Amino acid sequence: MVATRLASECGHNVADGWSAEELDRLRFAVLKLSEGSIDKFEAALTLAKTDWRDLLMCAGFGEDVNAHRRWVPWCC
């Protein structure tokens, strides 16, 4: 469900013309802000659709285009 929703609702409809790698930054931001909660996932997805820049800033990915690559939720 989550992967399907990320693919369909957090893609080119949010940031048209972005590459797959660039879209990963948005999708990782949604996942990070969700903290494993479906309610927080919904809120983060709504934020992505409202203003992707705010989403990136809230997740800590706004000032460094590679910050999402260093965020590894399954580690430690």
For the chain, the domain total comes to 1
Task: Match 């990070």 to its residue by tokens.
Answer: 32
**By percentage, how much of the chain surpasses pLDDT 90?**
84
Average pLDDT over residues 50-75: 89
Residue 53 covered by a domain: yes
Query: Does the structure show a pLDDT above 60 at 75?
Result: no
Q: At what angle do helices 52-59 and 38-50 cross, to 10 degrees?
A: 130
pLDDT in tens, 24-50: 999 999 999 999 999 999 999 999 999
Q: Containing domain of residue 57, as a range? A: 2-70
Task: List, in sequence order, every beta strand (DSSP E) within 22-75.
Answer: none
Residue 75 covered by a domain: no
CB neighbourhood size of 10 (10 A):
22
Query: Does the structure show a pLDDT above 90 at 1?
Result: no
**Predicted confidence band at 72 (pLDDT cuts at 50, 70, 90)?**
confident
Residue 76 covered by a domain: no
Distance between CA 36 and CA 62 in Å, rounded?
A: 21
